[in-house]
Structure 1
Amino acid sequence: MQTIHYEVRDQVATLTLDQAATRNALSPAMREEVAEVVHSIKQDRHIRALVITGANGHFCSGGDLRNIATAGLDNQGWRDRLHSLHHWLQDLITLDRPVIAAVDGAAYGAGLGLALAADFVIATPRARFCVSFLKVGLVPDCGIFYTLPRIVGPQRAKELMLSAREVGAEEALRLGIAMELQPPEQLLARAQAMAASFVQASPMAVSLVKRTVAAGSDLATQLELEANAQALAMGTQAHREAVQAFLDKQPARFQWPA
């Protein structure tokens, strides 16, 4: 694999995003490789827990804007692209085994969505979280419409989505985005130790807990709404101009606070 590292040790899988040049941006190649891993884990009953983390001092900086700017997709093309992401994202969110995100540095945009797909988020004091989509004229994706309100409540979720402001580690802890903070040098070991604890748990009980907690909302409907909204946003002039400003290294037109 070219964009990630994947290993299984003592029934715990660890998936590490590793693209230093883009701060582990979720490029098409990375999405394909993550999808392959998620499918493999879903089929492999030997694996009892999954840890997702990032190399290079960051978790994931979000979508790959250079690829987005040159994709040349129409409305249906963007819907299809989101549906492709949703296929494995839904498998990850509904995986019947615990998923732990170990977050250091940036978890922005789709990177935040990937972190929130986990059951537990452990972060370092230097972790930074941001629902950054509005800065480039888009709406949240990668499941954030489903996951974030369930964690922080609808009002705070809308504030984070509409302000696109950065949330530091301490605030993320208060909001419930992060469950605990660990020093950078202890982050992965703590996440893997937590994952290892589930090796001895009842697989059925773990599955039932996750399934029952999730039963309060309709994920499929939420993801369909997300795909529709994002496909529309992708076709706007505001999005194109914001991405071009980013590529030209110009300040974003949208700033919070104004």
Structure 2
Amino acid sequence: MSTPPVLTTVQDGVGTITLNRPEARNALSMDMRPALAAAIAQMRDDAQVHTVILTGAGGAFCSGGDISSMQDPSRTGLTFRNGMRQLHQWFPDLVNLEKPVIAAVDGPAFGAGLSLALAADFVLATRRAKFCAVFGRIGLVPDLGAMHLLPRIVGHQKAKELVFTARTVDAAEAQQLGIVYDIVEDAAALTEAAQTLAQRFGQASTAAIGMAKTIMNQSFESDALTIAELESYAQSMCRGSAYHLDAVQRFKAKEPLRFDWDKLK
């Protein structure tokens, strides 16, 4: 039996998706793509999952697309286009997953791997993590949402520089650019840090976080009035939730709230 290209686990409310082609530095192969789509759908639909960790096996996050498949002479321009369109059928599900998503990056996050990291809400990285919009080195343009996400995170001018030069960015610079949330020493510390951060959301309102995320993900494309209307809708939904009503009762009774980030430190 062949090794699954993507592994999933769920434990204590934390779902983990592991890209599992360490021999190819977790390059995004053709069979990995539907497996990753299915894993994202699994985490989306599992009501027990409050936070998702996306990581890679064997000391790499994702080295990008599988270049060996790019050399197939039978694949035409239309074939490649259809393949890209299939990617964009599931990638928005990751970007807009209404749960906190943590990318735990060890080693390279290149090309499509960079896009996968950018899709997360928080990126944790080891000191040997590397980020690169590598496409320009082989005469391609960034894909898998990179040209949408990268300028929103690092700014327009810096995004152009990273794309035009296709240079490698280490973890420290990636943190300065706003790509990386925190840096840890090694793979063992990365696993622990990702689990610790994920568990801190365990008592939060997944619904409230999810709706806030969905609205903020539209904030660059929407005007203030549209965002205000979305806020009004989301707030009315949250106000009637059991979570909010419980929080109000706890506040009135001077009892600890279920979720208090400052007290979780």
Task: Identify which of 205, 208, 213 aligns with 2:211.
Answer: 208
SS of the aligned residue for 1:162 comes to helix
Q: 1:40 is matched with which residue?
A: 42
Q: 1:160 is matched with which residue?
A: 162
Q: 2:240 is matched with which residue?
A: none
User: How far apart, CA to CA, are the structure 1 residues paired with 2:93 and 2:183?
Assistant: 27
User: How far apart, CA to CA, are the structure 1 residues paired with 2:7 and 2:127?
Assistant: 24
With the length of structure 2 as denominator, give the TM-score of the two structures.
Answer: 0.80
Q: 1:53 is matched with which residue?
A: 55
- In 2 relative to 1, CA 178–32 (structure 1 residues): closer, same or farther, beyond 3 Å? same
Q: 2:105 is matched with which residue?
A: 103
SS of the aligned residue for 1:81 comes to helix
Task: Identify which of 118, 137, 140 aligns with 1:138.
Answer: 140
Task: Identify which of 53, 74, 77 aligns with 2:76.
Answer: 74
Identity %, equivalent residues: 44
User: How far apart, CA to CA, are the structure 2 residues paired with 1:204 and 1:16?
Assistant: 25
SS of the aligned residue for 1:205 comes to helix
Q: CA deviation at 1:16?
A: 1.1
Which sections of structure 1, spanning at least 5 residues, go unmatched? 220-258
Task: Identify which of 80, 86, 111 aligns with 1:84.
Answer: 86
With the length of structure 1 as denominator, give the TM-score of the two structures.
Answer: 0.82
Which sections of structure 2, spanning at least 5 residues, go unmatched? 223-265
Q: Which moved more, 1:131-140 or 1:198-207?
A: 198-207
> In the TM superposition, what whole-angstrom CA distance separates every residue of 1:4-59 from its partner, at most 9, and x where no partner exists?
22100011101111212211101111111111111112222221110011111111
- In 2 relative to 1, CA 188–139 (structure 1 residues): closer, same or farther, beyond 3 Å? same
- Size of the alignment, in residue pairs? 219
CA RMSD in angstroms, aligned pairs only: 1.4
Give the AA of the match of 1:174. Q
Higher relative contact order (CA 8 A, sep 6+): 1
SS of the aligned residue for 1:101 comes to strand
Q: 1:192 is matched with which residue?
A: 195
Q: 1:123 is matched with which residue?
A: 125
Task: Identify which of 180, 183, 193 aligns with 1:178.
Answer: 180
> In the TM superposition, what whole-angstrom CA distance separates every residue of 1:114-150 from its partner, at most 9, and x where no partner exists?
1111000000111000000011111001110111101
- In 2 relative to 1, CA 150–71 (structure 1 residues): closer, same or farther, beyond 3 Å? farther
Q: 1:240 is matched with which residue?
A: none
- In 2 relative to 1, CA 8–213 (structure 1 residues): closer, same or farther, beyond 3 Å? same
User: How far apart, CA to CA, are the structure 2 residues paired with 1:218 and 1:89?
Assistant: 18
Q: CA deviation at 1:216?
A: 2.1
Larger radius of gyration: 2
Q: 1:248 is matched with which residue?
A: none
User: How far apart, CA to CA, are the structure 2 residues paired with 1:49 and 1:155?
Assistant: 32
Is contact 2:115–2:144 with CA below 8 Å preserved after alignment? yes
Give the AA of the match of 1:186. A
> In the TM superposition, what whole-angstrom CA distance separates every residue of 1:54-102 from its partner, at most 9, and x where no partner exists?
1111111000000121163223222211111111110010010000000
Q: 1:10 is matched with which residue?
A: 12
Q: 1:238 is matched with which residue?
A: none
Q: 1:253 is matched with which residue?
A: none
User: How far apart, CA to CA, are the structure 2 residues paired with 1:112 and 1:63?
Assistant: 11
Q: CA deviation at 1:160?
A: 0.2
- In 2 relative to 1, CA 145–2 (structure 1 residues): closer, same or farther, beyond 3 Å? same
